[in-house]
Amino acid sequence: MTVRASASPVVIYVNGPTSGQYDMETPGHLVGELSAPDGRDAGMDPHRIHREFPARWRAYILAHYSSLEEITKAFQVSEKTARNWWTGATGANGGHVAIAVQEHPEEAIHILFAAE
């Protein structure tokens, strides 16, 4: 039995409506504050974001939480993980980023993904 996965483009809408007015043929296209007026990604380098992610995650954590206990409760992680985030030793995984975006939508996206 052969299973074929259908490849579909991934489109990220940032600070923009999702009413279908955007070009769905451009995978990874950013709109809103992170995109240039002509629609190009304005300085968005995913490799740079990946390299900087532990520091970006630390900045998010320090901006929104005042103790390791708050972090462990909000993200349901161990104290060791919370401490690693607090010090910037490690970043978070996708599930934790989803929680951050749910808790602080605009701030999390700006701190974690905005081009500097």
Q: Are 29 and 23 in contact (CB under 8 A)?
A: yes
Residue 110 has pLDDT above 80, yes or no: yes
Kindly report whether the global pTM for this prediction surpasses the value 0.95.
no
34-41 average pLDDT score: 51
Q: Which residues contact 103 (CB under 8 A, 6 or more apart)?
A: 64, 74
Summarize pLDDT for 60-70 with one digit per residue, the tens: 999 999 999 99
User: What pLDDT does 34 receive?
Assistant: 47
User: Where in the chain are the domains?
Assistant: 1-43, 46-113
Query: Nearest to residue 16, comparing CAs of 37, 38, 36, 31?
Result: 31
Q: What CATH code would you report for 46-113?
A: 1.10.260
Residue 35 corresponds to which tokens in the numbers above? 């995109």
| Whole-angstrom distance, CA of residue 16 vs CA of residue 4 | 32
Note the pLDDT tens digit of each residue in 51-108. 999 999 999 999 999 999 999 999 999 999 999 999 999 999 999 999 999 999 999 9
